[in-house]
Structure 1
Amino acid sequence: RQVIIVKEAQDLSRTIEKLVSYAENPQPTTLLVVCYKYKKLDKRKKLYKALNKEGVLFEGKKLYDNQISPWIIRTLKSQGYGITQKASHMLAEFLGSDLGKVSNELNKLKLILPKGTEITPEHIEENIGISKDFNNFELQNAIGEKNKLKAHRIINYFSQNPKDNPIVLTSALLFSFFSKLLQVHSLSNINDKSVATALGISPYFSKDYITAARNYSMRDSSKAISLLRVMDLKSKGVDSNAIPSGDLLKEFLVKIMD
């Protein structure tokens, strides 16, 4: 079949209805793909109704942050690769929800590693440059476990590499972590399944939140969120004189873990 792709169709919003006559009588030898990005095609228009009747309408919604790690696992599995839970979480935490960026990094790994490989944190560290021991995921776990030594080691590493470990990203992750702890404390029955369902995470990570909930009460979690708010403001220069990000994180650790 002849394939015709209309890219950036959202920029044709004033004239796109001209496709109605074709959409109502499409050529059987042609596959027409209309890529409407960042916006939604108006469901009230004739074009939407014609496409829905004669073709296929697919809406690719942006994934939430907690859906990125499972997406990485599914994508690699479909391509003949495996990946550990920790490695997938490292990629999700470091690369965010931009699937284009995530896909590019996965393609790099597939060029280097043979099909059938289970991708590990070591592979991520060697080929993408994300430290398997000093990252926000490990900091979150160290704080959750109240492992002061490990947490301070990670903060020291962040202090020496501030560009690769921006405090804005760290504070956002920790805010999400303690917000989820409040959700855990609100559960009537706390177990792997109930925590995973409530937080929308893999049961593999439930134990981390259950452990943290034992170490931090609901009041402690609320205090942590309040401290993170203050830290975020200070990191942006509000009521502070350019305090180094490492010092702000150390102050937070002392106040929340002691």
Structure 2
Amino acid sequence: MAASTQTTFDSIRKDILQRNFKPIYLLMGEEAYFIDKLTEILTETVLTETEKDFNMQVFYGTDSDINNIISTARRFPMMAEHQLIIVKEAQQLDKLELMDIYAKHPMLSTVLVLNYKHGVADKRKAWVKHIDRIGIVFESKKLYDNQVPAFISSYFREKNIGIDDKSAQMLTDFVGNDLSKLLPELQKLEISLPDESKRITSDLIEKNVGISKEYNNFELLKAIIQKNVLSANRIVDYFGKNPKDNPTIVTLSVLFNYFSNLLECYWLPQKSEQAIMSALQIRSAYFARDYMLGLRNYPAQKVMEIISLLRMFDAKTKGIDNQSASPGELLKELVFRIMH
């Protein structure tokens, strides 16, 4: 998951749940989900519901005064071990650098949370350095595509719901790494689970998300890796007839990601599942086996040729050196040239 240079989402979450609180949390970055999630965990953990009445305050950067926030942070809690102060939209707070005054000598009974979204504070600034010294500075980054399946699995695991690797990858290929779009789909699946079931399946995804369990980028890539020409042609033909549900740009991205990673595998001293998992930072042997098979079916020279083809066809889908071929026709030609 997203991480700063010293901390990870999981390590911060673990410390909070063990009630190892820091006096200041600076939660910043482009991915709002991890900022909101850590703030939610702190809200649920630092204080009991009764204690929140007198010991929890929420400020908004757009209409709050830094001196008032600091003054509030210096108070002692009332009939509780801690007080919790959350500053939302902290990036909008005027004179935020004055936080350095408080960060030098924070109240250990106060848990101050600064939500600094859609950007990062300058880590060279004194106030950020002081927070980093005595508290937590966490940068919430957008997930890379190869991190999304693990995120999906983790999301459901926290809710005691299982999901297999194939289904997680299907969702990744369909939605991508934009968590604002992915989370509603995950919540939709959670709600759609039959009472007696605790597992997300490809059938459930097909019914509720709109991804065909047979005709999707995951199955196309699988057919290409296995050199199953019949299956690949059947999927490509389906894509051509349903272009709105299967945008070529997404398919090209999936193929480019796989073959770029496959090329990297050729330079590994040892071409084992464990070595591939380590080099590509994938957690599942299930996907490592796809690369093992790719190494057997596609020589390095062919892989380099495929990467060039993908770049060329990407340009063609954008109208470069292409006068009349439809996306479906282009994809059909591309897959033929990849597999022959």
For residues 2 and 245 of structure 1, do their structure 2 counterparts lie closer, same or farther at Cα, with a shift above 3 Å needed?
same
Q: Which piece of structure 1 moves more, 173-182 or 135-144?
A: 173-182
Q: Given the alignment of the two structures, is residue 135 of structure 1 paired with residue 216 of structure 2, yes or no?
A: yes
RMSD of equivalent CA atoms: 2.1
* 1:239 match: 321
For residues 46 and 197 of structure 1, do their structure 2 counterparts lie closer, same or farther at Cα, with a shift above 3 Å needed?
closer
Candidates 202, 220, 244, aligned match of 1:163: 244
* 1:145 match: 226
Which whole-Å CA distance do the structure 2 matches of 1:49 and 1:220 have between them?
50
* 2:56 match: 2
Q: Which runs of 5+ in 2 are unaligned?
A: 1-54, 59-85
AA in 1 matched with 2:206 = E
Cα offset for 1:21?
3.9
Kindly report which structure 2 residues correspond to 1:1-258, keeping only aligned pairs within 5 A, or say none.
1-4=55-58, 5-12=86-93, 15-24=95-104, 31-53=111-133, 55-113=135-193, 114=195, 117-201=198-282, 202-258=284-340
Cα offset for 1:140?
0.7
Cα offset for 1:77?
0.8
Q: Deviations over 1:110-133 (max 9, x none)?
A: 222148611111111111111111
Cα offset for 1:46?
3.3
Cα offset for 1:240?
1.1
Cα offset for 1:245?
0.6
Comparing both chains, which one has the higher relative contact order based on Cα–Cα distances under 8 Å and sequence gaps of 6 or more? Answer: 2
AA in 2 matched with 1:48 = V
Q: Which piece of structure 1 moves more, 37-46 or 67-76?
A: 37-46
Q: Is the 8 A contact 1:24 1:50 kept in 2?
A: yes
SS at match of 1:58: strand
SS at match of 1:36: strand
> 1 or 2, which has the higher strand percentage?
2
Which whole-Å CA distance do the structure 2 matches of 1:225 and 1:31 have between them?
51
Which whole-Å CA distance do the structure 2 matches of 1:185 and 1:46 have between them?
46
Which whole-Å CA distance do the structure 1 matches of 2:197 and 2:57 have between them?
33
Cα offset for 1:203?
1.3
Larger Rg: 2
SS at match of 2:136: coil
Tell me the matched-pair count.
257
Which whole-Å CA distance do the structure 2 matches of 1:55 and 1:196 have between them?
33
For residues 189 and 26 of structure 1, do their structure 2 counterparts lie closer, same or farther at Cα, with a shift above 3 Å needed?
closer
AA in 2 matched with 1:161 = N
For residues 115 and 18 of structure 1, do their structure 2 counterparts lie closer, same or farther at Cα, with a shift above 3 Å needed?
farther
Percent identical pairs in the alignment equals 44
SS at match of 2:137: coil
Q: Which piece of structure 1 moves more, 230-239 or 108-117?
A: 108-117
Which whole-Å CA distance do the structure 2 matches of 1:189 and 1:42 have between them?
41
Which whole-Å CA distance do the structure 2 matches of 1:8 and 1:243 have between them?
48
Q: Which piece of structure 1 moves more, 180-189 or 206-215?
A: 180-189
TM-score normalised by length of structure 2: 0.70
TM-score normalised by length of structure 1: 0.90
Cα offset for 1:248?
0.5
